[in-house]
Amino acid sequence: MGASDPEVAPWARGGAAGMAGAGAGAGARGGAAAGGEARARDPPPAHRAHPRHPRPAAQPSARRMDGAPGGLGSGDSAPTTEALFVALGAGVTALSHPLLYVKLLIQVGHEPMPPTLGTNVLGRKVLYLPSFFTYAKYIVQVDGKIGLFRGLSPRLMSNALSTVTRGSMKKVFPPDEMEQVSNKDDMKTSLRKVVKETSYEMMMQCVSRMLAHPLHVISMRCMVQFVGREAKYSGVLSSIGKIFKEEGLLGFFVGLIPHLLGDVVFLWGCNLLAHFINAYLVDDSVSDSPGGLGNDQNPGSQFSQALAIRSYTKFVMGIAVSMLTYPFLLVGDLMAVNNYLASPPSSSAFPPAQGQLFRGSSLLFRRVSSGSCFALE
């Protein structure tokens, strides 16, 4: 430990002063007296650090991590951490807003540009609708670059409210310590852990979704006004007044049920699939090298292949399950904007037909469906 440590500095400074004093008086008292004075100023052996008995200086820092005043987990730093998450979420939301804006216009069936002829991987001629980049250029031509961020303000408020709600719920209902699931647990124990964790996540997600959904509805309606060039929903406060006056309180929760169902199915499907793969298909004894890190010789190692595989399992399962739950998102968004526009979208290319439950899920290679009037004969 350095000389600035509170446990070391007093006797270290005393020892240094003693040796300096002994050197200054060496001519009068001799080398033996100087050595004796220096030893007298040295700290007693009881104060020295022992390899088996660490200094008590490590204990205050551990308590500060647990939430004592001035620590990382204290109440003073909690608002700062929450504000940091809100700021990061706002940045991600602003950057991804043009992507979701184009997706919504595709979901409602607004196709202002004709498809182009192309070939697929097999060399067959197919018709492709404009991709995200072509659609975004069209929006810039009509509304300018600022037009790509139509409806961003209520969406930022919605995401911020959701983040604050989840943080507040964690304080009011703190989660119990979740034990890590491994293939060493029996089926009943490991499944109980996953059910407990997923139930807690579902509660937070449903509550935050219900509170933020009114702002989500306002954001959807602001964006979809691009279709008919309306200006009915402009600001957040004015939109709240119009929705409440025309539709009542229930107007703020149009399309909520499909979104809730999609969230619940996504959470349970993703967590259960990841659990069964991690607990029963990933072997904990797998290590990076024979006799190396991550085996029984070093059980505390964090560099085993099993941990690396588990870190990606939930991510991959999330992508797979999100594709299956996309129809819930599509139906919820359409319910939020349906019958609230003066001009219907130019959706003649999308009559009611099979395959439309995933409309808008692809933004790059958008092949015209066989039921479309644009389809090749």
**What confidence tens digit (pLDDT) does each residue in 321-373 have?**
999 999 999 999 999 998 776 555 554 434 444 557 888 888 888 888 655 54
Give the position of tokens 């607990």: 279
Q: Is the pLDDT of residue 31 over 90?
A: no
Is residue 363 within 8 A of residue 342, CB to CB? The reply is no
Give the position of tokens 């407990």: 196
**Rounded to whole angstroms, how far apart are CA atoms 348 and 365?**
20
For the beta carbon of residue 12, count every other beta carbon within 10 angstroms. Answer: 16
Q: Is 117 helix (H, G, I), strand (E, B) or coil?
A: strand
153 Cβ partners below 8 Å, 6+ apart?
235, 236
**For range 27-49, the mean pLDDT:** 44
List the helix and strand counts (H, then E) for the chain: 11, 3
Which is higher by pLDDT, 139 or 373?
139
**For position 122, what pLDDT does the model report?**
85
Is residue 181 within 8 A of residue 123, CB to CB? The reply is no
Reported pTM: 0.69
**Rounded to whole angstroms, how far apart are CA atoms 223 and 234?**
10
Tokens representing residue 349 in the block: 């290319």
Which is higher by pLDDT, 104 or 67?
104
pLDDT digits (tens, 9 = 90+) for 167-188: 888 888 887 655 555 555 566 7
**For position 10, what pLDDT does the model report?**
39
